[in-house]
């Protein structure tokens, strides 16, 4: 049901000629939804367009009735009846991406559109507003067609997008500075250095694609404030909280640099993207490298991932809630569970997984480099960026007739000293069957 203020607003807009006159309100809103779905911003994002239309239909047909994650997951995305939103964050991630796309559209393509469509944080209900023409404002300085709460939400979303852009620019600047610091003499020397054969063997699937590989680094959501303390976002207790999703671990930052070095030596560029901005549509035609476990790089919860060495929270006992790597098919006397140092003690050891698999498009490849902590992730990347380490791994892997490494998963033990991976040991290797 529409509030009295909203009703007066719409009536004023119609009387003064600001809103639609020849179409019903529902038709006007539905037309705007289709305009969004067919825009360049959402073009090719089939899953986001499907979510947009679903939310719009519900908001228009059942105003005031909130949608639940479970309903969206089972009705729209075909999840099983045992879907648990506390474990599977698919819907929250997709809603966050749609929210960012709406902001992007109205900042660029839709700057003059008469109808505004918003998805406020903490809800799955779309809001529709008529845009107030310039100069026609209420006495309190707020546009009549746009309540103050809507304006504030939009400003926060714009601020979040701006922070995201700054983070990407900062990473790009860091890589640029590192490259500049090498100097001309180093660059000339590198051109004369032979490319390690181990690099060419392991990374061969990522060197011949139609586009440069994407490097997707983790950036989990946080709540709180940097100056007073922050913690991981918990949907069960933080509903409606402002989420900071522009942080990543120290290990991931250094890993980006290491991988950039390797691919530069292979004369191949990489594209860098943070996990929360990654779209499932990006899976179709790109080679992908993921940094971080599914607890940090949430996209890994939505795509085919490791299946021999699986990341899972401990369900009971003194380590309840800690992230572990589960050995699904232990061989010989191998343990079934691998855990990093206790969170109450200095981190001295971690475990990590290196996984190579075919993408959703079988002609493309996916590499997962992930520890249970940021230092484990760093250790995994340093391992695959070290010719010496690869000389211990590659003989244990199957290769195709043209010498290309076949899909595999490897488990690593990472020793850590004062926040620095100092030694990485290969514990187990599993071949993946298609």
Q: 324 with 413, same domain?
A: yes
pLDDT at 175: 52
Q: What is the pLDDT of residue 163?
A: 52
Indicate if 356 and 276 belong to the same structural domain. yes
Q: Is 278 in the same domain as 334? A: yes
* Parent domain of 25: 4-137+144-155
**What is the model's pLDDT at position 351?**
97
- Is residue 216 included in any domain, yes or no? yes
pTM: 0.56
Residue 188 resides in a domain:
no
Cβ–Cβ < 8 Å for 374, 250: yes
- Looking at residue 177, its pLDDT comes to 52
Q: Are residues 347 and 288 in the same domain?
A: yes
* 54: in domain: yes
Check whether residue 212 and residue 337 sit in a common domain: yes
Asked whether residue 348 falls in the same domain as residue 264, the answer is yes
Count the domains in the chain.
Answer: 2
214 within a domain of the structure (yes/no): yes
The predicted structure's pLDDT at residue 9: 39
pLDDT at 366: 92
Instruction: Mark whether 269 and 396 lie in a shared domain.
Output: yes
Give a yes or no: residue 179 inside a domain. Answer: no
Contact (CB, 8 A) for 422 and 347 = no
Per-position pLDDT tens, the chain of length 434 = 333 444 333 443 443 344 444 578 889 999 999 999 999 888 767 888 999 999 999 999 988 888 888 999 899 988 888 888 877 777 888 888 899 889 889 988 888 899 999 999 888 999 998 886 544 444 333 333 344 444 444 555 555 555 554 555 555 555 555 445 444 444 444 444 578 899 999 999 999 888 899 998 887 778 888 778 888 777 777 776 777 777 788 889 899 999 999 999 999 999 998 887 777 777 778 899 999 887 766 666 666 688 999 999 899 888 998 999 999 999 999 999 999 999 888 999 999 999 999 888 888 999 999 999 999 999 999 999 999 999 999 999 999 888 899 999 999 999 999 888 999 999 999 998 76
pLDDT at 133: 56
């Amino acid at each position: 049901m529409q509030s009295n203020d909203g009703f007066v607003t719409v009536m004023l807009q119609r009387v003064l000629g600001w809103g639609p006159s020849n179409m019903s309100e529902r038709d006007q809103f539905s037309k705007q939804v289709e305009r969004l779905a067919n825009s360049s911003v959402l073009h090719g994002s089939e899953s986001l367009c499907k979510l947009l239309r679903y939310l719009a239909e519900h908001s228009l047909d059942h105003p005031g009735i909130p949608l639940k994650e479970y309903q969206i997951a089972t009705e729209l995305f075909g999840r099983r009846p045992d879907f648990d939103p506390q474990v599977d964050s698919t819907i929250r991630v997709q809603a966050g991406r749609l929210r960012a796309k709406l902001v992007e559209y109205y900042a660029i393509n839709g700057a003059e559109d008469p109808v505004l469509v918003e998805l406020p944080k903490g809800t799955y209900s779309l809001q529709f507003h008529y845009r107030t023409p310039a100069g026609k404002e209420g006495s309190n300085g707020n546009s009549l067609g746009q309540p103050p709460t809507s304006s504030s939400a939009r400003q926060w979303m714009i601020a979040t997008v701006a922070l995201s852009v700054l983070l990407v620019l900062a990473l790009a600047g860091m890589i640029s500075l590192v490259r500049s610091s090498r100097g001309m003499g180093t660059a000339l020397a590198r051109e004369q250095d032979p490319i390690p054969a181990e690099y060419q063997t392991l990374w061969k699937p990522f060197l011949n694609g139609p586009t440069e590989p994407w490097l997707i680094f983790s950036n989990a959501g946080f709540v709180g404030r940097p100056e007073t303390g922050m913690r991981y976002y918990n949907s069960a207790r933080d509903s409606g909280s402002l989420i900071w999703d522009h942080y990543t671990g120290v290990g991931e930052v250094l890993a980006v640099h290491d991988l950039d070095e390797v691919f530069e030596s292979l004369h191949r560029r990489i594209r860098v993207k943070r996990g929360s901005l990654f779209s499932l549509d990006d899976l179709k035609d790109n080679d992908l490298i993921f940094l971080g476990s599914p607890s940090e790089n949430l996209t890994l919860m939505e795509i085919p991932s490791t299946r021999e060495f699986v990341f899972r929270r401990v369900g009971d006992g003194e380590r309840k809630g800690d992230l572990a790597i589960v050995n699904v098919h232990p061989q010989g006397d191998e343990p079934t569970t691998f855990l990093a140092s206790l969170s109450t003690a200095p981190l001295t050891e971690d475990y990590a997984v290196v996984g190579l698999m075919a993408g959703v498009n079988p002609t493309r490849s996916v590499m997962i480099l992930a520890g249970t902590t940021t230092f484990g992730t760093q250790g995994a990347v340093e391992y695959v960026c070290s010719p010496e380490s690869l000389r211990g791994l590659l003989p244990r892997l199957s290769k195709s007739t043209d010498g290309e490494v076949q899909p595999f998963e490897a488990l690593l033990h990472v020793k850590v000293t004062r926040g620095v991976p100092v030694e990485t040991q290969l514990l187990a290797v599993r071949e993946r069957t298609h």
